[in-house]
Structure 1
Amino acid sequence: MSDRHQETCSIARLFTWLFKLVIAFIALSVLWVLLYAVVPPPFTITMAMDEHSITKDWEPLSNISPNLVRAAIGAEDGKFCTHNGFDTEAIEKAMRRNAQGGRIRGGSTISQQTAKNAFLWQGGGYFRKGLEAWFTFLIENIWGKHRIMEVYLNLAETGIGTYGAEAGAQRYFNKSAADLTPTEAARIAAALPLPKRRSVVNPTGFVRRYGNSIAKRIGVVKRDGLDGCIYT
């Protein structure tokens, strides 16, 4: 057998192996998303990497105040009910801002954040962002908006070692997530991007102003039907 023929066979075997690997990844990821469509994610990579003790308490979306749902939409993703998982306009704006230097800003939707929280890890990198896009595509087409919001509000880090709306509501306000007022919901939403650094109970400065702004947006989200995919 010539060296050229051996090289051709080696390349063919490599492509065959890569093809099988891609097919296996697609199959396993689809099965994983299908499982989480009906079963609450029991744990996440973010939780596993958290150095603090974990507090979480899964609740169906029907047991979470609409105020918090609307606060999340108003603060994080006003086009949640109309986009396909990706807000191209927000991504383009973030890219332009980042090109100017300064603090890096993202253009992630709630769907993208949910994909990251449920299946991946925190931090950047093109590889992780590529996986995030794939899982975002899957949950948008398999779960739908209602399930995406439910998983998002149950997995989002709401404080040090605290995950989900119910655990956050109990920690900060000693009440169920179902009973959150617009102000309380807005304060939790205001802290979501940096839950370890932003105060929910006694916010000051920017966090307080941002929370007040979100509280006003809750009414706008309801008035303009921006939550129509959740509440019809």
Structure 2
Amino acid sequence: MTDRVRLVVIALGGLLLLPYALVIVYALPFIHPVSTLMVADLVTFQGYDRRWVPFDKIAPVLTRSVMMSEDGQFCAHDGVDWVQMRGVVQDALDGEATRGASTIPMQTAKNLFLWNGRNIIRKVLEVPLAMWADLVWSKRRMMEIYLNVAEWGPGIYGIEAAARYHFGVSAANLSQRQAGLLAVALPNPFTRVASKPGRGMQRLSSVVERRARAAGEYIKCLYD
């Protein structure tokens, strides 16, 4: 192995290991991580709006709505919902259209360290990162980071900026309907605009609101 190849291998290894080290750093409560999309917006001089807000300053109805919309087993799994994941793999093997199986830890790992788009390489990198983050962070810290880096529109990141942009209120003062609309917008905040919902989006929001009201034991890891 030549020196040049050795340096390339070392550099690639360092890039692969860096996110695991950052997960440890991000466990510190005074650290406010940024996502790869936020960095891209800065590099391209587009800028962005993100106002970090502590978990305790986020309306519980928003947290419940997001959890029941995106990852109902959040408190039970280890970063990956293996039941859902096996279903996706089986669908792919059967040649059927695959459904989403990304948990909140997986989405957080993707937002912080990887890139958007369906890609097997990204998924292979995402799964162990999600499990590592779930091991290192508390569930509350995981949800806090996720809600502060999630994208809710062009250049709109985090629940505080989203609540103010879409509804003119703080994250602490979101209503049940507003929380439901923001939750169902997450899969694609460019076509699902929380402040301008169509009938389909309003129906989805109603379903999420009902699930959030009945969350009960599903959210015990966040609210003791």
Pairwise TM-score range, normalised by the shorter structure: 0.7 to 0.9
Which ranges of structure 1 fall in alignment gaps of 5 or more residues?
1-9
1:180-232 deviation digits (Å, cap 9, x = unpaired): 111110100010000011121231132111011101111111x2x11111111
SS in 2 for 1:226: helix
SS in 1 for 2:116: coil
| Alpha-carbon distance in 2 for matches of 1:17, 1:121 | 22
SS in 1 for 2:152: strand
| Alpha-carbon distance in 2 for matches of 1:59, 1:71 | 17
Q: How does 1:120-135 map to 2 (within 5 A)?
A: 120-135=114-129
Q: How does 1:52-91 map to 2 (within 5 A)?
A: 52-91=46-85
Counterpart residue number, 2:36? 45
- Alignment match of 1:178 (pick from 172, 177, 186): 172
Shift in Å at residue 29 of structure 1? 3.1
Distance 1:22 1:162, change over 3 A: closer
Higher Cα radius of gyration: 1
Which residue identity is paired with 1:179? N
SS in 1 for 2:222: coil
| Alpha-carbon distance in 2 for matches of 1:53, 1:16 | 34
- Alignment match of 2:111 (pick from 105, 117, 129): 117
1:35 aligns with 2:29: no
| Alpha-carbon distance in 2 for matches of 1:17, 1:198 | 42
Shift in Å at residue 79 of structure 1? 0.6
Counterpart residue number, 2:196? 202
Distance 1:66 1:88, change over 3 A: same
The alignment's TM-score, normalised by the length of structure 2, stands at 0.87
Counterpart residue number, 1:160? 154
1:45-103 deviation digits (Å, cap 9, x = unpaired): 2123347541111101011111111011110111100100010111122334454545x
| Alpha-carbon distance in 1 for matches of 2:15, 2:135 | 18
Counterpart residue number, 1:5? none
1:123-164 deviation digits (Å, cap 9, x = unpaired): 232222122122212211111211110010001101121111
- State the identity as a percent: 34
1:226 aligns with 2:211: no
Counterpart residue number, 1:108? 102
The alignment's TM-score, normalised by the length of structure 1, stands at 0.84
SS in 2 for 1:157: coil
Shift in Å at residue 17 of structure 1? 8.3
Counterpart residue number, 1:7? none
Distance 1:202 1:29, change over 3 A: closer
| Alpha-carbon distance in 2 for matches of 1:44, 1:29 | 12
Residue-pair matches, total = 217
| Alpha-carbon distance in 1 for matches of 2:195, 2:99 | 26
Which ranges of structure 2 fall in alignment gaps of 5 or more residues?
none
Q: Is the 8 A contact 2:19 2:113 kept in 1?
A: no
